[in-house]
Amino acid sequence: MNWLIASNNHGKSGDLRACLAYYGLTAECYDRYFSRLTFPAETTSSYVTNAVTKARFAAQRLGQPVIADDSGIEIPALPGQLGVTTARDLGVAVSGFQRNQEILTALTTCPNSHRQATMWATLAAAWPDGHAVWAQGSLSAYISSSQLGTHSGGFDRIFWLPAYGRTLAELPAVWRIPLTHRGQAARRLVRQLQALKGSVS
């Protein structure tokens, strides 16, 4: 069975492809084979509901099994912002660099000890008949004072891991993927799919 990634964000799709491949599952961006979809607006406060809704929508429209993602970053020093509404708060058309700069600017006066953050990812796999399974992962660390690293993009460039003395984006994939929120979710989802006979080719 060939899996398609239901996302119009090629940066996210590339990261998800890498995470799934790390655990032995091959997936491709859906728009390599189909016309661009307009996904339903994310209107809920649940990562799981958003991911499952997106996956079911794409699976039914494409007639193929798909994997969708809903993710966000939660920063206690910025209460009432981000989290499940991260993309909505920062703007879906805004570059990752600009999003990071907005966060860094908002935390300019925040001391290092209060720059805690958690990234969440929920991955949902769905089939055209509506059946779906999902898995979630999270990673807690700190927001750095500047953007660092070239091994990955997005929030990885400002997500500082004290144990490594680096941001996520400064770590090569072989170290980074098992740590990341999306990597953890991918591992758990692949295990579920492997347990479903015939779900993984």
pLDDT, tens digit, 9 for 90 and up, residues 83-136: 565 555 455 455 678 889 989 999 999 999 999 999 999 999 999 999 999 999
- Asked if residues 117 and 60 have their Cβ atoms less than 8 Å apart, the reply is no
Distance CA 180, CA 173 (A): 10
Active site residue 70: yes
Residue 199 confidence class, pLDDT cut points 50, 70, 90:
very low
- Residue 153: which residues within 8 A CB-CB, separation 6 or more? 11, 15, 96, 169
Of 69, 70, 129, 156, the active-site residue reads 70
Q: How far, rounded to the nearest angstrom, does the alpha carbon of residue 193 sit from its chain's CA centroid?
A: 18
pTM over the 0.85 mark = yes
The DSSP symbol for 155 reads G
Residue ranges covered by each domain of the chain: 3-195
Contacts of 45 (CB under 8 A, 6+ apart): 84, 85
CATH code of domain 3-195? 3.90.950.10
